[in-house]
Amino acid sequence: MTTAMQKLITAEEFARMPNPPDGSRQELVQGVIITMPPPGARHGACCSRINRRLANHVEDNNLGTVFANDTGFLLEREPDTVRGPDLSFWSRERLPEVPTGYIDVPPDLAVEVVSPGDFYARVQRKVNQYLDKGVRLIWVVDPEDRSVTVLRAGEKAKVLSENETLTGEDVLPGFRCRVGDLFA
């Protein structure tokens, strides 16, 4: 019995590939393309609300750049991994100008909005990769539970309910938002 070796894709090859015609999302994980179905309406509305609040705060305070729509950043090479958080933030110091391709510096903040079809293990794997590669702050937003889990390297996860306040801590100074305001 023989097993065919799968050709691993590089980040550069991945960037040149056309978008899937069905609108699905893709990431590159250790050289293998992972396809996910398009998220539903609740996911999109939640991402939009978070993006509006984050972007307004970041622009008003000249803190850096907020990215939406699964903007890819390069986590590792050989084999390559390109992940795209639902939303992300880079400070001016870490990303002084926006590049044309994938970003090779981990974001200061990565936001993952849980979709109904997401598996806990898949989200946890992404979070662990983000933390391992130097993402300073992660928010896992769950529209179903109306909660946000806040994660930082070396610290215990904090779960905030809809009546609690989400802050940007030292990553987004001055950012404050009631968790429930992130949901439609």
Sequence spans of domains, the chain: 40-70+82-182
Cβ contact 79:30 at 8 Å: yes
Residue 122 C-alpha from the chain's centroid: 13
Look at residue 113 and tell me whether its pLDDT is greater than 50.
yes
> For residue 128, is pLDDT > 60?
yes
Read off the pLDDT of residues 32-45 as tens digits, 9 standing for 90 and up: 998 887 788 888 89
Contact 71, 47 (CB under 8 A): no
Query: For residue 119, what pLDDT is reported?
Result: 73
DSSP state letter for 103:
B
Mean pLDDT for 79-107 is: 94
pLDDT, tens only, 41-90: 888 899 999 999 999 999 999 999 999 977 899 999 999 999 999 999 99
Name the CATH topology of 40-70+82-182.
tt1808, chain A (3.90.1570)
Average pLDDT value for residue range 143-154? 95
Q: Over range 163-170, report the average pLDDT.
A: 98
Q: Are strands 25-29 and 147-151 parallel, antiparallel or unpaired?
A: unpaired
Overall average pLDDT of the 165-183 stretch: 97
For residue 153, pLDDT beyond 60: yes
Give yes or no for a contact between 116 and 50, defined as CB atoms under 8 angstroms apart. no
Tokens encoding 75: 């986590």
> What's the half-sphere exposure (Cβ side, CA atoms, 13 Å) at 170?
3
Cis (ω within 30 of 0) for the bond into 107?
no
Region 169-179 average pLDDT: 97
